[in-house]
Structure 1
Amino acid sequence: MCESTALKGETIILTGIPKSDEPERLVRQYGGEPVSFPLIRVQERADEDLQFIHRLNEYDWLIFTSQNGVKYFGQKLVRFNIAVNDVNHPKIAAVGSETEKALKEIGFQVHFKPSVFSADRFVVEFPDLADAGERCLFLRGSLAKETIKEGLINEVDEWTVYETVTDSEGPKKLIEFLAHTPKCTITFSSPSCVEVFVTEVIPHIVLEGYTIAAIGHVTEDALLTAGLPVHVKPEKYTMTSMIEKIAKLKGDSK
């Protein structure tokens, strides 16, 4: 456990889409100042709904890799007047504890979760539980990679339930903020945030003296590919773990 003053005098910038107030609460708990500048936003996609919404029980597994996928799936069930109990055949697979939590909140039990919260680990461990002949439906975002579809020998259909777009105000506000706030910590929770940061923000700032934190090796790879350093990456791919690790780094350096 870090000291309660580990982040005293530190500003922690959150670039992802806020899913709860827990990261900001934790930063303040350690004496830091959280600031949120979402670089991306998500919105529901409905163009494939009729193709899949009434066929859910044809699948053996529904696969979710994000809270957003769960959120928009839940909204579709409500819109089409489908109760959770009506989706009674497929088992549920989730990547990540937060995705699992979101599924439980709308009434679904999770039958499989990989030991590491990443799609590439999912495709390694999933065959230990699922038969090769079982059909899967991956409820994905528009920017999801082909890791699950190409990495499993199972038949995998993909239903894009939401899309990710650049936030119209976040990059501008972050540029203005960084102009007056040197040497803070910038956190990234997805490659999408990294892409927007690189294309929309970096050309307008001098990136020196900042601490950069990333959740997950895919986000880390995106930063490194862009030529940016990664100073903090937690072993557990959650916002809470990232804040904890930032607090430890900053606390140890004082």
Structure 2
Amino acid sequence: METVESPLKGKRVLITRAKQQAKEFVDRIEKAGGIPITAPLLEIKANNTNCQEIQGALENIKNYDCIVFTSANGVTFFKEYLDLWRIPYSSLDHLIAASVGRKTSKQMQTIGVTVSIIPEEYVAEKLTESISEHLPAKSRILVIRGNLARPALVTGLKNCGYDVTDLVVYETIHNLDEAEKLRNYVLQKQLDFITFTSSSTVDSFMKILNSEELRESLQNVTFICIGPITNKTLLEYGFKGFIPASYTIEDMVKLMTELIK
């Protein structure tokens, strides 16, 4: 009975995502009986260097046909800017809305936006395909993203003939203050799983691997990547990860339990 209720019992799982995003992951690992270890390698903050451009786009939102969010973080910071300049959520009612995935779509409900375009596979290329199937050519699209988001979506939409505004509403910064704590966990072989939820977290993590000793300590660790893009980045560093069937935190935890079984 204990195995069924606690499939991750005693397993130590490293969570590398930003502090603001880690709670759901921690809760799910604990519920499965695992031991979550948080080392936020990324810090997320509003892109206050771009306020004038953001304000201009939001105040002229009526000129757009479609709005696209590439992450739940994008929705959160977009909402903060709407509130800051007292722009009513109802000003978004006329827009066709597109989202990269379920979690982002759910977050979009907080600003009264119902998603009508969502890809079967949660990657930029598939989102571009889905939009092109539903939206007339030359439509005006507002893409809301973070500074480290891949350019594939914006490039793909422009190649399809859309008039695209690329709006960066938040910044993701590498947090190397966690490096020493991470080194100790790796060297003492205290980790069973290491999880990556973006290519950025992979890059930050690999910055601590400055010796062969650290790399050798990872030989028996299982890497779990949220999707193929993140796993591709991991492969470039010489490590291979496992990818869940659906690119969500919930399915990452499910995959870990399946690998144990």
TM-score scaled to structure 1, two decimals?
A: 0.92
The code of the aligned residue for 2:23 comes to D
Q: Percent identity?
A: 28
Contact 1:5 1:31 in 2 (8 A): yes
Q: Does 1:238 align with 2:239?
A: no
**Alignment partner of 2:23 out of 15, 21, 30:** 21
Tell me if the contact between 1:58 and 1:89 (Cα under 8 Å) persists in the aligned partners: no
Q: Could you tell me which residue of structure 2 aligns to residue 247 of structure 1?
A: 257
Does residue 29 of structure 2 align to residue 5 of structure 1? no
Letter in 1 for 2:163: E
Displacement of 1:54: 0.9
Pick from 235, 246, 254: which aligns with 1:224?
A: 235
CA contact (8 A) 1:3 1:30 kept: no
Structure 1, unmatched stretches of 5+, are: none
- 1:24 and 1:183 map into 2 onto residues whose CA distance is 15
- Quote the offset at 1:233 in angstroms: 0.8
SS in 1 for 2:75: helix
Q: Distance in 1 between matches of 2:96 and 2:180?
A: 43
Amino acid at match of 2:254: E
Q: Say whether the 8 Å CA contact 1:187–1:214 is kept in structure 2.
A: yes
1:207 equivalent to 2:209? Answer no
The question of whether the paired residues in 1 share the 8 Å contact of 2:6 and 2:32 is answered with: yes
Of stretches 202-211 and 129-138 in structure 1, the one that deviates more from structure 2 is 202-211
Give unpaired runs (5+ residues) of structure 2: none
Query: What SS does structure 1 have at the residue aligned with 2:21?
Result: coil
| Aligned residues between the structures | 248
CA distance in 2, matches of 1:183, 1:53: 45
1:126 aligns with 2:134: no
Alignment correspondent of 1:171: 179
**2:144 pairs with 1:139:** yes
RMSD: 1.6
Aligned to 2:198: 190
Distance in 2 (alpha carbons) for counterparts of 1:139 and 1:116 = 19
The separation in 2 between residues aligned to 1:168 and 1:108, in whole angstroms, is 36
Mapping of residues 96-107 of structure 1, within 5 Å: 96-107=101-112
Deviation, 1:101, is 0.7
